[in-house]
């Protein structure tokens, strides 16, 4: 009960973040929202479109952007093209994360301070071994 007010505040912040992400999720089917940073050597972009959040980085930035836009932060919003025109893909080097994953992560972070974290050394060693096995399997699968 030492940090009860801090736990409540953290849960409220995570709950508000969940609600805002859900609103962005719904909006992503109507509009494509872009937040990007442009300077002379790089172009970093985060977009929300069709239930996904895309993140990509280009270095050097496209010449068209350097000619038409000022350096710094920008926000734009465009109508989502109809699904009949194919899948919308702005770049080949884009990481797409579904909105539901971000909502779930916010919900877990909001609930985590209320869970009791009591475990033994044996439990910690078993969990560490499982994480090492899973990471080893991922490395093995990517090298095949």
Per-domain boundaries in the chain: 4-118
Specify burial of residue 48 (Cβ count, 10 A radius: 0-12, 13-18, 19+).
Answer: buried
Confidence category of residue 18, pLDDT binned at 50, 70, 90: very high
C-alpha–C-alpha distance, residues 31 and 21, integer Å = 14
**What rounded mean pLDDT belongs to the chain?**
86
Check: pTM over 0.75? Answer yes or no. no
Per-residue pLDDT at 96 exceeds 90:
no
């Amino acid at each position: 009960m030492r940090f009860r007010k801090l736990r409540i505040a953290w849960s409220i912040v995570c709950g508000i973040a969940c609600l805002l992400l859900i609103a962005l999720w719904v909006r992503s089917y109507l509009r494509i929202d872009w937040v990007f940073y442009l300077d002379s050597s790089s172009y970093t972009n985060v977009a929300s479109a069709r239930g996904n959040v895309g993140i990509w980085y280009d270095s050097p930035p496209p010449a068209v952007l350097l000619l038409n836009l000022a350096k710094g932060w920008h926000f734009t919003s465009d109508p989502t093209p109809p699904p009949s025109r194919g899948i919308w893909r702005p770049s080949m080097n884009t990481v797409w994360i579904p909105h539901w994953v971000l909502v779930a992560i916010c919900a877990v972070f909001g609930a985590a301070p209320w869970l009791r974290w009591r475990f033994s050394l044996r439990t910690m060693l078993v969990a560490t071994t499982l994480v090492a096995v899973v990471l080893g399997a991922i490395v093995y699968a990517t090298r095949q």
